Amino acid sequence: MSSTMTKVTLAKEAKALRSTSMVERQYYWVLQCPCGASLEGSSEDEIVDLSFGHLRKNHPDMADVYEREHILFMAQRFVRT
């Protein structure tokens, strides 16, 4: 097998491994509110719902200021181990 063919084959195998491992990874999201509360959700939808609930309960004057995109921007995604 030529050197070029080996590089192409290895690149394809590496890409397949990356895509497989990305599918198998499980994530969770954490949002640290400036008030000190730490919120954790197992999905984007869950962290958004928890955050809006926290805002309505603890910061009602700010509940209408934030949108889903703001929450997801502030949340951090971690790989579940």
- pLDDT per position as a tens digit, 18-75: 665 556 899 999 999 999 999 999 999 999 999 999 999 999 999 999 999 999 999 9
- pLDDT per position as a tens digit, 62-73: 999 999 999 999
Q: Tell me the backbone φ, ψ of residue 41, rounded to 5 degrees.
A: -135, 155
**Torsion angle of the four alpha carbons 63, 37, 45, 15, in this order, in degrees rounded to the nearest 10:** 130
